[in-house]
Amino acid sequence: MAKQHVSFNLNGKHVDALVEPRELLVHTIRETLSLTGTHIGCESSHCGACTVDLDGKSVKSCTVLAVQADGAELKTVEGLADADGLHAVQQAFIEEHGLQCGFCTPGMLIRAYRFLQENPNPTEEEIRWGMSGNLCRCTGYQNIVKAVQTAAQTLQQA
């Protein structure tokens, strides 16, 4: 099959890529664009390690074709921090020990980033539900929930 040209904004920068029509977005991000923060976990949409922010929605990039991102706004974990430092979600995960092995962390961070835009003052139950599409095998989730609560408070004060 002939490769197709795709063009989108990735973490605030315009990018172009040639992709196979059947190529998954996660592979384009990691292999073509060399941003390896987005992790490949299950490749069947169960774990959420590959979660990215696509046009203002959390999506599992193992279920999106790269051609579907043409013209889109895309944010990966590499796009959370800015010149001023870490994003509040990243800082909260550090402060609250919301990670252990770190494999799920990029997807958790991106999902928490979007979730807190959707619900800036969530209850613990809402956080657990809002983050439920992202799995962690290490933490037991309690510190992840605390991290999202801390980030919510920080963002409200900003």
Token representation of residue 59: 């999506």
What pTM, to 2 d.p., does this model score? 0.96
Cα-Cα end-to-end distance for the chain: 49
* Number of Cβ within a 10 Å radius of residue 63: 14
Amino acid 43: pLDDT: 82
**CATH fold of 88-157, please?**
DNA polymerase; domain 1 (1.10.150)
The DSSP bridge partners found for residue 52 are 59
Dmax of the chain from CA atoms?
A: 52
Token representation of residue 101: 């092995």
- Residue 40 CA, chain-centre distance (Å), reads 12
Q: How far apart are CA 25 and CA 6, in angstroms?
A: 11
51-101: pLDDT as tens digits: 999 999 999 999 999 999 999 999 999 999 999 999 999 999 999 999 999
- In the three-class reduction of DSSP (H, G, I as helix; E, B as strand; rest coil), residue 136 is classed as coil
Amino acid 1: pLDDT: 78
* 103, pLDDT greater than 90: yes
DSSP 78-131: GGT-BTTBS-HHHHHHHHTT--SS-SSHHHHHHHHHHHHHH-SS--HHHHHHHT
Domains 4-77 and 88-157 share a fold: no
Span 4-77 CATH architecture: Roll (3.10)
* 158, pLDDT greater than 90: no
28: pLDDT confidence band, cut at 50, 70 and 90?
A: very high
* Domain boundaries defined on the chain: 4-77, 88-157
Q: How far apart are CA 116 and CA 131, in angstroms?
A: 10
